[in-house]
Amino acid sequence: MVSAVHAWSERLAQNGAQFTGSIIRDLLRLTERPEVISLAGGLPAPECFPAEELTMAAEGILAREPLAALQYGLTEGYRPLRALVIERMKARLAIDVAQEQVLITSGSQQGLDLLGRLFLTSGTLVAVEDPTYLGALQAWHPCAPRYVTVPVDEDGLNVDALERMLADGVRPQFLYIMSCFQNPTGITLSHERRRALVEVVSKYGLPIVEDDAYGELYYGEERPLPVASMDMEMHGELRHVVYLSSFSKVLAPGLRVGWMAAPEELISKLTQVKQGVDLHTNSLSQATVYEACRDGLLDRHVPFIRSFYRTRRDVMLTALEQHMPEDVRWVRPEGGMFVWITLPPHVDSTQLFHTAIKHDVAFVPGATFYANGGGQNTMRLNFSLPTPAQIEEGITRLGQAVRDVI
């Protein structure tokens, strides 16, 4: 008799057959022992969730306007929330768009998925930073695109390398970037390069997908303005950039509420695609986010999150100074949740991972984040979730593991 599993597996579509477990998931299974300190995750700290305000908001909306929370809604998103997002983008980011240019998404992850469905098919080319966000590669995996990678240094994407690539006739569907506190490197695109980037993409007509998941988590005086706002400044409208952001890092990721801003024709297409995916983003979540934020919760709460994570970042940087051998390098992140480590060229961080697990500490080997391979001697450390004491102890153990391997 044919087993049920076999009956399904032999019918997998060509794209379905491409779904395989990620190495990262297999490795992270090894970190589940309670004695292991994990610097591998990427989760926000639960202490940063404004749970009380969200509870009150959800209760309030259910009591006063149950239909806004319980009925099917518009695919474009809950109108008051769209208006709030528009107001915030204008006031804080100098991105001035109309209601028709905004789509509420089920997390910014869904924005990546929708873009993939609309623009990518098997073999089409996408330009990504090297390294890039693993979740974007996963979102586009079913479309089976090919990647062209653009190197990143301490000032972010190497715009000269991008221009050389475009001058050589390479024509990706779009360029995907994280301009602030990139995942995995924590690096931020410098002001000069932002300007240069908009000039280059304007010259070649290359669309940009700007993922600003971490922009509000800045630990200096202020955040850099998104590339999208520079696009607006230079062209008087959002022309080359699709801007994605989210409430995941400033409220709570379990709400699954994000948004995208883009030229109106594109939002209209993306809305049609989203309709077939989930009809609309969870109504209760959208209404709760609006209700919680309409009286200025973000302005009160996000500074707390910044100072909470700034402390953890500083603890990690100090511990790295104390415990890492001299030839290990890292970039001081000005925001976000990660520190990116470069080991001496001969050290393979996947091997190091197994040594580190013996020392009861875990991280993510950096090679995972390279779309076309490379980065064997790199790794990503998370400082948002572990406590300061765990960070200190974790880096002490990691320093020992690195010494063992070197």
Ligand X SMILES: Cc1ncc(COP(=O)(O)O)c(C=O)c1O
Using CB under 6 A, list all residues that contact ligand X: 42, 107-109, 133, 135, 178, 183, 211, 213, 246, 248, 253, 258
Minimum CB–partner distance for residue 86 and ligand X (Å) = 18
| Of 135 and 263, CB closest to ligand X | 135
Distance in Å, CB of 217 to ligand X, minimum: 11
Phi, then psi, of 366 in degrees rounded to 5: -65, -25
Please report how close the Cβ of residue 33 comes to ligand X at its closest, in angstroms: 24
132/376 with CB nearer ligand X: 132
Q: Which is nearer to ligand X, 250 or 319 (CB)?
A: 250
- Please report the DSSP string for 271-299 in residue order: HHHHHHHHSSS-HHHHHHHHHHHTTSHHH
Rounded to a whole number of angstroms, the distance between the first and last alpha carbons of the chain is: 54
Contact 44, 252 (CB under 8 A): yes
**In the numeric block, which tokens belong to residue 297?**
């919760």
DSSP reduced 3-state for 372: coil
Q: What is the dihedral of CA 119, 123, 129, 135, to 10 degrees?
A: 70
Output 214 or 330, the one with its CB closest to ligand X: 214
Provide the 3-class DSSP secondary structure of residue 148. Answer: strand
**Residue 112 in contact with residue 139, Cβ under 8 Å?**
yes
- CB of 351: closest distance to ligand X in angstroms? 26
When the beta carbons of 127 and 401 are compared against ligand X, the nearer one is 127
How near is the Cβ of 41 to ligand X at its closest, in Å?
A: 10
Question: Which residue number, 145 or 258, has a Cβ lying nearer to ligand X?
Answer: 258
Token digits of residue 110: 């869904």
Instruction: Report the nearest approach of ligand X to the CB of residue 10 (Å).
Output: 33
Q: Considering only CA atoms, which of 278, 298, 263, 271 is closest in space to residue 88?
A: 298
- Nearer CB in complex with ligand X: 261/319: 261
In the complex, least distance from residue 248 CB atom to ligand X, rounded to whole angstroms:
3
Closest distance to ligand X from the beta carbon of 64 (Å): 27
Provide the minimum distance between the beta carbon of 149 and ligand X in the complex, in angstroms, as a whole number: 16
Contact 174, 208 (CB under 8 A): yes
DSSP secondary structure of 87-142:
HHHHHHH-----GGGEEEESHHHHHHHHHHHHH--TT-EEEEEES--HHHHHHHGG
Both structure tokens of 214: 């971490």
Which two tokens mark 41? Answer: 């995750």
Distance of CA 74 to the CA centre of its chain: 26
Of 131 and 207, the one with the shorter C-beta distance to ligand X is: 131
Q: Output 200 or 213, the one with its CB closest to ligand X.
A: 213
CB 173 within 8 A of CB 166: no
Count CA atoms closer than 13 A to 246's CA, side-chain side. 23
Q: Which residue is nearest to ligand X (CB)?
A: 107
Of the two residues 359 and 380, which places its CB atom closer to ligand X in the complex? Answer: 380
Please tell me the distance from the alpha carbon of residue 135 to that of residue 106, in angstroms, as a whole number: 14
* Closest approach of ligand X to the CB of residue 384, in Å: 10
Check if the beta carbon of residue 219 is closer than 8 Å to that of residue 373.
no
Which residues, other chains included, contact 189 with Cβ-Cβ below 8 Å and sequence gap of 6+?
A: 155, 156, 157, 177, 179, 180, 197, 224, 227
